[in-house]
Amino acid sequence: MYDLIITLWIPFTVGILGGAHCFGMCGGIVGAISMTGASSKTPRFSLHLAYNFGRVTSYALAGAVAGAVGAGGMAIAAQQPARIVLLVFANLMLLAMGLYLMGATRALIWIEKPGRRLWQRIQPWSQHFLPVKGVRQAFPLGLILGWLPCGLVYSVLATALSAGSPQAGALTMLAFGLGTLPTLLLTGFLLSGFRRYIQARLTRLLAGWLIFAYGLYGLYRAFVFGAML
């Protein structure tokens, strides 16, 4: 039970701490939903909720796929050593994400490149749901934009890869997605004031250090786990 709480707590808090990055990636569409929602009969809160529900659903689906791929890799290789390799990779990704948020490196951008090819195929579908006038547009738009190439999402997907099953991978990404909700919902309603806070240098430094610390803790757990084999 303790391991499950830790496993889900880390991606959840990474989602919260990565708010500055989330705003940079999704702030534009959230602002657009706010503006079009002002003239819509559907309450803005419902539009933002539907959009984010779609986005988080896509994260969970991606996590299930990553978990299935990771489980397949463990079945082919020796299970425990393969899991340790995946855990080390996942936590190195968290270290990289922490450094990226601190502004120490932009190296994490390279991992977004493979996702851009998939995004080029998916992105045109988003035009069918713009402008957002109701839940029927907001939810599928969220589903589509959940596949937007994003280093933060990919760093947590690496954790889902090491989760050991599709179910655990989906739960990992679901926890992460729920962690991103406060930032994007607040952004939708307090766009100007909240933007200054979330993109402040101190906020990004603090978030980066905490995610970096999670990565170090994860590496420690991976090596302790390996020493017990």
The domain total for the chain is 1
Query: Strand, coil or helix: what is 38?
Result: coil
The pLDDT value given to residue 23:
63
10 Å Cβ neighbour count for 154?
18
The pLDDT value given to residue 39:
55
The pLDDT value given to residue 25:
63
The pLDDT value given to residue 78:
66
Q: Which residue has the tokens 């962690």?
A: 179
Residue 90 structural domain? 2-227
The pLDDT value given to residue 62:
96
Distance, in Å, from the CA atom of 25 to the CA atom of 31, rounded to the nearest integer, reads 12
The pLDDT value given to residue 209:
92
Is the CB of residue 153 less than 8 Å from the CB of residue 18?
A: no
Is the CB of residue 155 less than 8 Å from the CB of residue 108?
A: yes
Prediction pTM value: 0.85
Query: Which positions ≥6 away from 34 have C-beta within 8 Å?
Result: 44, 48, 188, 189, 191
Q: Which DSSP helix (H) or strand (E) runs through 197?
A: helix 191-198
Kindly tell me the sign of the dihedral angle through the C-alpha atoms of 208, 213, 218, 223: positive
- Residue 137's nearest CA partner among 36, 20, 19 is 36
The pLDDT value given to residue 139:
94
Estimate the crossing angle of helix 166-189 against helix 151-161, to 10 degrees.
Answer: 160
Inter-CA distances, 184 with 20, 73, 118, 188, Å: 10, 35, 24, 6
**Which residue numbers in the chain have pLDDT < 50?**
2, 229
DSSP 162: T
